Amino acid sequence: MCSVGSTAISSAARRDETPAIGTRFLDPETTQLSRWLQDPNSDTILKELAILISQRGVVFFPKQDINIEEQKILAHRLGSLSGRPASSGLHKHPISPETPELGKDVSVISGISKAGVIDDTRASNGWHSDISFEPVPADYSILKMCTIPSVGGDTLWASGYEAYDKLSPTFAKFLEGLTAIHSAQYFVPMAAQMGLSIQDNRGSPENSGTNLTAIQYVQLFKTHPITGFKTLFVNKSFTTRIVELSTEESDDMLNYLARHISENHDLQVRYRWGTDDVAIWDNRCVLHTATNDYGAQEREGNRVVGIGEKPFFDSGSVSRRARHK
């Protein structure tokens, strides 16, 4: 799908962070998301923004004044203007408590580790797409980072488009017919421990109940509804089993695909946050992970996640590289 060419975005200074993924807007004076929401041509601007995010995977905006209510409105409009089903709204995370200030549909991303305690887990274990365990998973996530450490706490994103394109055609053909289970059942005891009830209609009527598993098996590949590109749709945190393989075969295949994503740095972008920076990414074609290297320093932000459509795969769709040849 081509850009619709609004002046606000097409004239704004920006740069691609890597060839595969990530675009950064450079001048906060001319790229305030709060102003774009109020612009008379906001529908055109936000539709173009949604297309850009889906093409580039993640887009960065420095020094934003957008507030939490505007952040929610932006998530709604990005999805609705780019064709999300009318039944989809904002996700309510199973372990996010509702507060009067933020509501249930905002997740506070925060972390303070104990001083002097070394994190001895592999940093690559955190790669995921937001809420892929829901029958109707996420489209756009918007994270505004409010408190950052003096150093550390970067976030990395990886391109599912490029991950698909780096597979050999023979291997990709083998994977094309396979389906996977995505599950976050471990959130159920966590919610009980926190005194939270898991809500029905977590952004879609189909995201209901306490079985936090994508009941309809999800194919390892999906077709992006906006770009039409094939993308790898599997992640370390929530993909638990490839249905058509034995347990041992599934474990080995998922471990390989996790390494494929985490060890190919040419399909990744790494972002060092500034205070009040905003990142918007498309969970249908990217994965991400935080870097837990900031010790006892504070790191906190507010995230809003939109619900998209059920994943689908069109065998007649093409990869990004094939489209650009």
The count of domains in the chain is 1
Residue pair 301/274 in contact by the 8 Å Cβ criterion: no
Residue pair 241/250 in contact by the 8 Å Cβ criterion: yes
Q: Is residue 29 part of a domain?
A: yes
The model carries a pTM of 0.94
Q: What is the CATH number of the domain that holds 239?
A: 3.60.130.10
CA distance 253 to 255: 5
**Count of alpha carbons within 13 angstroms of residue 61, beta-carbon side:** 25
Q: Is residue 2 part of a domain?
A: no
Neighbour-count burial of 91, counting CB atoms closer than 10 A to its CB (0-12 exposed, 13-18 middle, 19+ buried): buried
| 214-228 residue pLDDT tens | 866 679 999 999 999
Q: Is residue 102 part of a domain?
A: yes
| Beta-strand pair 14-16/23-25 | antiparallel
| 23-66 residue pLDDT tens | 999 999 999 999 999 999 999 999 999 999 999 999 999 999 99
| 246-277 residue pLDDT tens | 999 999 999 999 999 999 999 999 999 999 99
Give pLDDT, residue 149: 96
pLDDT class for 298, splitting at 50, 70, 90? very high
Q: Is residue 256 part of a domain?
A: yes
Residue with token string 């706490």: 153
Q: Is residue 165 part of a domain?
A: yes
Q: Is residue 72 part of a domain?
A: yes
Show the tokens assigned to 306. Answer: 């939109």
| 75-88 residue pLDDT tens | 999 999 999 999 99
Provide the residue range defining the domain that includes 116: 7-324
Check pLDDT > 90 for residue 202: yes
Q: Is residue 145 part of a domain?
A: yes
Give pLDDT, residue 217: 66
CA distance 276 to 38: 19
| Torsions phi, psi for 221 (to 5 deg) | -110, 150
| 171-201 residue pLDDT tens | 999 999 899 999 999 999 999 999 998 989 9
- How would you write 216-243 as a 3-class SS string? CCEECEEECCCCCEEEECCCCCCEEEEC
Residues written for the chain? 325
Least confident of 106-115, 141-150, 195-204, 309-318: 106-115
Q: Is residue 63 part of a domain?
A: yes
Neighbour-count burial of 202, counting CB atoms closer than 10 A to its CB (0-12 exposed, 13-18 middle, 19+ buried): buried
